[in-house]
């Protein structure tokens, strides 16, 4: 038996495979103690934990710790003269017209920042030796008196020579037992001091939280008889054993969205689709990602709450627009949706758990797209009256019927999602019309047709049980780790020096997998971050394993120019010098093969007709059960297909059919 449990902002999802049996479960999340929601999902599914061989897990624990500033009491050590690096940040202004704009607040205060006497130059040479005496007599006593739980160390240019950082860590471990110590060189071995410092402090900030959470969850599992392998999803689309994740907390920030992308790619591939725009709309947010030839784009950097994180992650763009997103009016009298969400507690008003503010889920209930008797396959009761009551005040303010107000809110959240998709497609040099839209999450298939129409996309693929695709992705994700290092060199040195660094990083990763007791064959990826000399940004250029031993400067130049042109529409034949900035190797150990996710066959559930409010009027809309839909039968809009975990809407002008892979494929006429 294998199981995946993903803790979301509103629901906790579970997918388990027990031989030929597929078990799917959704239960409300417990934000204050996410492990309780995960255990509730396991109990609700009726699983015998003693029989589970492989348990994959994803959660928002690390993300919430940062957003809510509930991480460790943290101290930050940096090179003397650079105490304010986290406050100065970069000379940019995210909101240029906001007179009250302030820079993102770091997770460590200035008073908790300490200077270390030392200096390493950019080439790795030592200009000023580490003053250990000053560290022990000045810094350590203050760290001890303030009772810090964690210490982040980021010394200048330590990516080129980490000797001073490692020595400081040794001294702190000897004099401050029980304190978590994080070195920047163990988290991010790349240049750009502010981004590396931000990544290090965020990692140290969430490390004790993740450590405690995983230890607590593992103890709960052990008490219930679990003896299998416990792994955790990372932001890069791969898993790590829980023990290894307790030392790599920064990679767990976006585990849920990454798992969803992995699961969606696998399911779409069964129908022959590889160029995708995945669109995960859950209860609190929507996450979108562009996929080419079955491979999601890897970004070198992301951010959370405005703070940069310098680690390989799936290139996912998130907007605060989900089923639980609250609809409100700003100071200028404009209608807004999100980013604040009703979440799991109290949840949308229609759940009747104490929520009174209008949400997108309430809007869908009002317009008739979500039927109270069919929500989550009829396992959860919701109230149309409560939803209408939540929207009544807004409708009165705008002098609109409640149904029209609800439809306006739906159109607004769709516009927000379209903008997010354009960020990963149009602004990356890709035309969304060339891709298939793949919606999942509890709300994704309900909004997908309107979003596809705005983008010009003509095909939508809805996977079976789209509301639990993230949990499914936890089971099929490979075990993955990346190693990146900054080594600036001219392009001409790439075939020799660059290839040698690739081999060294590959050897490091191989040792890491042996240490994690993952001894199977490994697959490797190779990426060079390259740029024209004088540019302040890099372009990722991928190379296949067969090329590494026979790289040539011309091959690297051609690959770089093609990648640069795809993004910026210039650069081919520029006759400008090119340099390599950083090199990255990824290693993956394949996950055990499992059966595909299916809908099952159910001959019952005759077609019914219900009213649906669309374009300012009520129309008759056919309703079908997803499980009862025969393979190959074509449906025309307006039709709603209700499943156990999500609802799919097929509007006028669209056709839909269930294929042999149990995907519902929608096409626009």
Indicate the SS3 state at residue 484: strand
Report d(CA 511, CA 517) in Å as an integer. 10
DSSP 138: I
Residue showing tokens 């990454």: 258
Instruction: Reply yes or no: is the peptide bond before residue 44 cis, omega within 30 of 0.
Output: no
Is residue 374 a contact partner of residue 607, using CB atoms and an 8 Å limit? no
Query: Would you tell me how many other CB atoms lie within 10 Å of the CB of residue 585?
Result: 23
Report d(CA 445, CA 443) in Å as an integer. 6
382, two tokens: 């919701």
Longest dimension (CA), the chain: 80
Report d(CA 648, CA 640) in Å as an integer. 6
Is residue 579 a contact partner of residue 530, using CB atoms and an 8 Å limit? yes
Helix axes 402-424, 444-455, angle to 10 degrees: 70
Q: Do domains 67-209 and 479-589 have the same CATH topology?
A: no
232-262: per-residue pLDDT in tens? Answer: 999 999 999 988 887 778 888 888 889 999 9
- Calculate the CA dihedral of residues 654, 655, 660, 664 and round it to 10 degrees: 40
Quickly state the pLDDT bin for 130 (edges 50, 70, 90).
very high
Question: Is residue 267 scored above 60 in pLDDT?
Answer: yes
Report d(CA 295, CA 299) in Å as an integer. 13
219-234: per-residue pLDDT in tens? Answer: 989 998 999 999 999 9
Model's pTM, two decimal places? Answer: 0.88
Residue 384: which residues within 8 A CB-CB, separation 6 or more?
Answer: 350, 365, 366, 372
pLDDT at 347: 86
pLDDT at 64: 79
Give the pLDDT mean for 9-23. Answer: 87
pLDDT at 605: 56
Hey, what CATH topology would domain 67-209 get? Rossmann fold (3.40.50)
pLDDT at 98: 83
Strand partners, 588: 480, 523
Report d(CA 596, CA 583) in Å as an integer. 35
> Which residue, among 224, 207, 96, has the nearest Cα to 153 in the 3D structure?
207
**Considering only 14-28, 97-111, 524-538, 603-617, which range has the smallest mean pLDDT?**
603-617
% residues pLDDT > 90 (the chain):
63
In which element (H, E) is residue 66 found? helix 61-67
Quickly state the pLDDT bin for 604 (edges 50, 70, 90).
low
Strands across the sheet containing 180-183: 113-116, 74-79, 150-154, 180-183
Give the pLDDT mean for 416-430. Answer: 87
274-323: per-residue pLDDT in tens? Answer: 999 999 998 878 889 999 999 898 888 888 888 999 999 998 888 878 88
Indicate the SS3 state at residue 69: coil
Is residue 251 a contact partner of residue 236, using CB atoms and an 8 Å limit? yes
Quickly state the pLDDT bin for 92 (edges 50, 70, 90).
confident
Give the pLDDT mean for 67-80. Answer: 92
460, two tokens: 């939508």
Among 2.60.60, 3.30.1490, 2.40.160, 4.10.1250, what is the CATH number of 479-589? Answer: 3.30.1490
Parse the chain into domains and list their residue ranges. Answer: 67-209, 479-589, 608-668
């Amino acid at each position: 038996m294998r199981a995946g449990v993903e803790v979301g902002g509103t629901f906790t999802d579970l997918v388990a495979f027990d031989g030929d049996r597929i078990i799917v479960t959704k239960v409300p999340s417990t934000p204050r103690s996410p492990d309780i929601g995960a255990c509730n999902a396991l109990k609700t599914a009726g699983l015998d934990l003693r029989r589970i061989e492989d348990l994959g897990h994803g959660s928002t624990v690390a993300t919430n710790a940062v957003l809510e500033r509930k991480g460790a009491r943290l101290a930050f050590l940096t090179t003397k003269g650079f105490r304010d690096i986290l406050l100065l940040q970069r000379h940019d202004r995210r909101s240029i017209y906001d007179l009250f704009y302030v820079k993102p607040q770091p997770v460590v205060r200035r008073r908790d920042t300490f200077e270390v006497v030392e200096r390493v130059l950019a080439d790795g040479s030592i200009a000023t030796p580490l003053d250990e005496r000053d560290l022990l007599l000045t810094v350590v006593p203050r760290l001890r008196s303030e009772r810090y739980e964690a210490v982040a160390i980021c010394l200048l240019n330590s990516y080129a020579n980490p000797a001073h950082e490692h020595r400081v860590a040794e001294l702190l471990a000897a004099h401050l037992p029980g304190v978590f110590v994080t070195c920047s060189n163990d988290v991010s071995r790349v240049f750009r001091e502010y981004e590396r410092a931000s990544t290090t402090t965020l990692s140290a900030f969430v490390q004790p939280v993740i450590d405690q959470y995983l230890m607590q969850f593992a103890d709960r599992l052990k008490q219930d008889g679990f003896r299998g392998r416990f792994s955790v999803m990372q932001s890069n689309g791969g898993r790590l054993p829980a023990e290894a994740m307790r030392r790599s907390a920064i990679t767990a920030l976006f585990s849920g969205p990454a798992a969803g992308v992995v699961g969606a790619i696998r399911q779409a591939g069964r129908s022959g689709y590889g160029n995708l725009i995945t669109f995960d709309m859950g209860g609190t947010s929507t996450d979108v990602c562009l996929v080419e030839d079955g491979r999601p784009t890897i970004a070198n950097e992301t951010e959370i709450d405005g703070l940069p994180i310098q680690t390989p992650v799936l290139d996912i763009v998130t907007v605060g627009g989900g089923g639980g997103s609250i609809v409100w009016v700003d100071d200028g009298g404009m209608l807004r949706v999100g980013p604040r969400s009703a979440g799991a507690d109290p949840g949308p008003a229609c759940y009747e758990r104490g929520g009174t503010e209008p949400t997108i889920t309430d809007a869908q209930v009002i317009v008739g797209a979500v039927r109270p008797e069919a929500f989550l396959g009829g396992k959860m009761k919701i109230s149309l009256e409560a939803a209408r009551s939540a929207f009544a005040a807004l409708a009165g303010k705008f002098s609109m019927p409640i149904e029209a107000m609800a439809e306006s809110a739906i159109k607004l959240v769709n516009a927000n999602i379209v903008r997010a998709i354009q960020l990963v497609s149009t602004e990356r040099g890709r035309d969304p019309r060339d891709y298939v839209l793949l919606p999942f999450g509890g709300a994704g298939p309900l909004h997908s047709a309107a979003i596809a129409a705005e983008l010009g996309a003509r095909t939508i693929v809805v996977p079976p049980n789209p509301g639990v695709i993230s949990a499914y992705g936890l089971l099929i994700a490979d075990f993955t780790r990346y190693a990146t290092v900054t080594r600036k060199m001219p392009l001409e040195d790439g075939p020799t020096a660059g290839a040698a660094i690739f081999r060294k990083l590959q050897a490091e990763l191989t040792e890491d997998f042996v240490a994690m007791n993952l001894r199977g064959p490994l697959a490797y990826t190779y990426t060079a971050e390259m740029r024209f000399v004088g540019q302040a940004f890099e372009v990722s250029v991928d190379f296949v394993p067969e090329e590494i031993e026979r790289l040539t400067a011309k091959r690297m130049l051609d690959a770089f120019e093609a990648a640069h042109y795809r993004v910026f529409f210039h650069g081919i034949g520029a006759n400008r010098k090119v340099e390599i900035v950083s090199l990255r190797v990824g290693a993956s150990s394949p996950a055990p093969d499992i059966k595909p996710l299916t809908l099952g066959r159910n001959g019952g559930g005759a077609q019914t007709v219900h009213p649906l409010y669309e374009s300012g009027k009520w129309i008759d809309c056919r309703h079908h059960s997803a499980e009862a839909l025969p393979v190959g039968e074509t449906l025309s809009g307006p039709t709603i297909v209700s499943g156990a975990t999500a609802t799919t809407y097929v509007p006028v002008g669209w056709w839909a059919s269930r294929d042999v892979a149990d995907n519902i494929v929608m096409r626009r006429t």
